[in-house]
Chain A
């Protein structure tokens, strides 16, 4: 693609601006099943996304084949789209801004195909011998990917960076007394030579054994601890409430709440695309705006929404550098990047001891449907275990936890110290709450 020719042509035609976003991803995945390679996937995809601003209004077009001979035809399509967009949807493209460079801590070593196969075979063996209750290895796989983006626009923005990842994952089924449960583990692997298959097997099998023998408990209100993974899922599924776009539209539960105490003073929420503890770090967002650390909720008080350029302008604020796309073909929306609840000082065991009697919820299911993003109401299938006298008791399953997220976040007993980003861009420590409605027997 001759990018300059496209930018020049858009300028000559009187467009306010044109942005070209090029996304490239390449990767391979090897899956292992029943003692042999099950599947192998290799990929290489480059996509182009054009964002034009014409008369203050925006149009979006994503293409997988770019034809430099058809610039005018393509720009015509964008002009026609912009024409029907409402005038209150005004937007502008970014101007160049310097950003402090930031790079992730991980140093990746690409393994050979033979080493990958050997690691998968060894992991399968290790899982099968990890515990006598192991019924079947469900899947084992290796995935590495490299992605890159380049953003240029008629204002002179030029941002380009790359991102890599390598993971080994495993899934297992365990059986006890005729009841089957599955477990899953994803391990980030900077260097496959340093991976211990027995350790991956232990984590995978433990995840499954953790849920064996779970039964419902009587319906009622219980003191609860959302263990870090469950807390991350619930908090993560509702991070759209901080979106300046949804707040501006009046469809976030945080509309008109700026400066108010929305959570317990024990809760501080931070979004930081530059956080090097996380796997993915970014100096710029997908509009070319520099990223920065923001305290969204400071000791319970809502301090700032997340913004992209458009949502910020609508609310008379500055972009927070949170204009991100989902894939090259997506349009820029407001998204968190490395967003977390700041950890406290207590371990999970200490939180359990403090709770005495209650319930630890380790996993939630149905998050895509069981949440009301407008009100913060939730009702979700969950798994966990009973706690008696501060100690872990029997496993619990086939129950739901329900409530209103904002109400619940006002009744925090304590925040744990066990924040762990793993491969995620949203993470939470375990959090203990006064109570939660549980439906079971």
Chain B
């Protein structure tokens, strides 16, 4: 990694321009993927990335350059390009930049570094999940497991003198189980992960993840086509929180709010959700998948209360978004790698536990859908229109969960669905996902307790 003096020298050169702020982000990342098919390892691949991105601001204008050559030969031409893009550089001299390392607490300690155990031991984690999936039911005919281990070192220095360094370690198992019966072929998946070392698999066992993937595949064998239309929906905890992530979270990011491209722009202090809804984005949860000690601008991560009893309390704001909005950054700036200019993003985002009992969620529903596990989704922040898919769904008939159904998606408008959340239970759980947006694909947790929405459009395959 670049030394403090080198960073300061580059920052000084950047500031010999019309820029009023300069930042260098440097990164070294080692990632390893082990893919298994049934009982054998199909592929092992390892990637070592190293690069730097340099960003200059002039008011709300930004220029960004990146390279994986982290030396004068590569960085000086980039700095020159960036300075000229902001205007005349003639006669400007480089100011002195003094960097001071910002201290912060390490919320995400690593006990078992993945490289401290052998490749064979790492692979065994995937096989443990595989064996459990296969042992779950004789109808499980095929399994695929992908194990990902990542270590990322970052250092971020800026012309205000801040220097922050962070290490982010992540581990994840993605299990796909395939079930077959009488020509019917279905799949189930489970994708747990954490922002810590391999010690994570001591509390959440690979076996439990393998069994969960197998359980869903087996359920789907007996699923029938999902009916269509508007109906009440109970969405269970964990990955069910993708509804909040899509229907609301993205629309609270400065990326869309600062340019008036969000349905929630200008709504701070107003009621945007039913009064039983409170939600937070918390990047400080120790060892969580979406946690980090500092964001990708070097600002300490924090817990942001987004909605309190239905009232919009905060957006998620990066430095540039803050300049546009006249607000302080909230430590929400993230990026996939040095190849992306950072912007406001979510970390671990979830609906807080409510006071309704789990059983009461189903009471009084004559005809509805119970979404036990969710797939992904997407949203258009400008219009608030979202969609997401139900991986494992069941009919609710006369207050009881009955037949499993497949091929369902839920669509609607974010502003409307938040107001239609009628009940929130107390079984909060989080689940892991990869979130894609302007600054690339980043790890985020979604989460919620089980909730009941009075009416959503359910798109099913059944021609009824």
Contact = CB atoms under 8 A, between A and B. Distances in A.
Interface of A: 33, 36-47, 58-65, 77, 80-82, 84-89, 113, 136, 138, 173, 180-182, 216, 219-221, 249-251, 329, 331, 365-366, 368-370, 372, 374-375, 377-381, 397-404, 435, 437-441
Interface string B376-412: 1110101101111100000000000000001111011
16 contacts: A39-B64, A40-B82, A41-B66, A42-B81, A44-B74, A45-B66, A61-B45, A84-B119, A219-B229, A249-B142, A370-B409, A375-B186, A379-B226, A381-B386, A402-B407, A440-B457
B387 A249 contact: no
Given A39-B341, A365-B378, 19 more contacts: A38-B61, A40-B85, A41-B64, A41-B341, A60-B45, A63-B48, A65-B68, A81-B45, A84-B44, A88-B40, A182-B382, A216-B457, A331-B43, A370-B375, A372-B406, A377-B461, A381-B385, A381-B387, A400-B457
Contacts of A402: 228, 407, 409, 459-461
Contacts of B47: 61-63, 329
Contact of B48 (A45, A64, A181): A64
B123 A84 contact: yes
B21 interface: no
B409 A374 contact: no
Contact of B67 (A45, A59, A136, A378): A45
B87 to A, nearest CB: 10
Contacts of B60: 38
B259 interface: yes
A40 to B, nearest CB: 4
Contacts of B64: 39-42
Contacts of A398: 385, 411-413, 457
Interface in B174-231: 178, 185-187, 226, 228-230
A350 to B, nearest CB: 27
Nearest to B58: A37
Contact of A366 (B67, B123, B388): B388
A411 to B, nearest CB: 12
A59 B68 contact: no
A65 B51 CA distance: 9
Interface of B: 37, 39-51, 60-69, 74, 78, 81-82, 85, 119-120, 123, 142, 144, 178, 185-187, 226, 228-230, 259-261, 339, 341, 375-378, 380, 382-383, 385-389, 406-409, 411-413, 457-463
A41 B339 CA distance: 10
A372 B391 CA distance: 9
Contact of A41 (B63, B142, B230, B406): B63
A415 B411 CA distance: 29
A400 B409 CA distance: 8
Given A398-B412, A400-B459, A250 B142 contact: yes
A43 B387 contact: no
Contacts of B41: 84-86, 89
A45 B74 CA distance: 10
A138 B383 CA distance: 13
A61 B412 CA distance: 44
Contacts of A62: 45-49
B66 A43 contact: yes
A434 to B, nearest CB: 12
B378 A86 contact: no
A81 B186 contact: no
A138 B265 CA distance: 14
A60 B35 CA distance: 12
Nearest to A61: B46
A366 B260 contact: no
A112 B39 CA distance: 57
B61 A46 contact: no
B185 A374 contact: yes
A43 B389 CA distance: 36
Given A36-B61, A249-B37, A398-B385, A374 B186 contact: yes
Given A41-B64, A59-B44, A182-B382, A33 B228 contact: no
Given A60-B46, A84-B44, A88-B40, A368 B406 contact: no
A429 to B, nearest CB: 25
A39 B460 contact: no
A46 B187 contact: no
B44 A42 contact: no
A366 B461 contact: no
A89 B261 CA distance: 49
Contact of B46 (A77, A84, A437, A438): A77
A360 to B, nearest CB: 18
B460 A86 contact: no
Contacts of A397: 385
B216 to A, nearest CB: 12
B229 A81 contact: no
Contacts of A372: 187, 406-407
A47 B187 CA distance: 36
Contacts of B339: 43, 45
B335 to A, nearest CB: 12
A424 to B, nearest CB: 19
A440 B67 CA distance: 48
Contacts of B461: 377, 379, 402-404, 437
A33 B407 contact: no
Given A39-B341, A40-B82, A365 B46 contact: no
Q: What 3 A-B pairs have minimum CB-CB distances, sorted nearest first?
A: A400-B459, A86-B40, A439-B228
A219 B178 CA distance: 32
Nearest to A33: B259
A367 to B, nearest CB: 8
B28 to A, nearest CB: 9
B459 to A, nearest CB: 2
Nearest to B84: A113
Pick the most buried of B39, B45, B413: most chain A CB atoms within 10 A of its CB: B45
A366 B458 contact: no
Contacts of B406: 372, 377
A381 B459 contact: yes
B43 A400 contact: no
Pick the most buried of A39, A331, A378: most chain B CB atoms within 10 A of its CB: A39
B134 to A, nearest CB: 15
Nearest to B176: A251
Contacts of A251: 142, 144, 178, 187
Contacts of B378: 365-366, 368-369
A37 B61 contact: yes
A332 to B, nearest CB: 10
A379 B460 contact: yes
Contacts of A365: 378, 380, 385, 387
B411 A81 contact: no
Nearest to A379: B409
B65 to A, nearest CB: 4
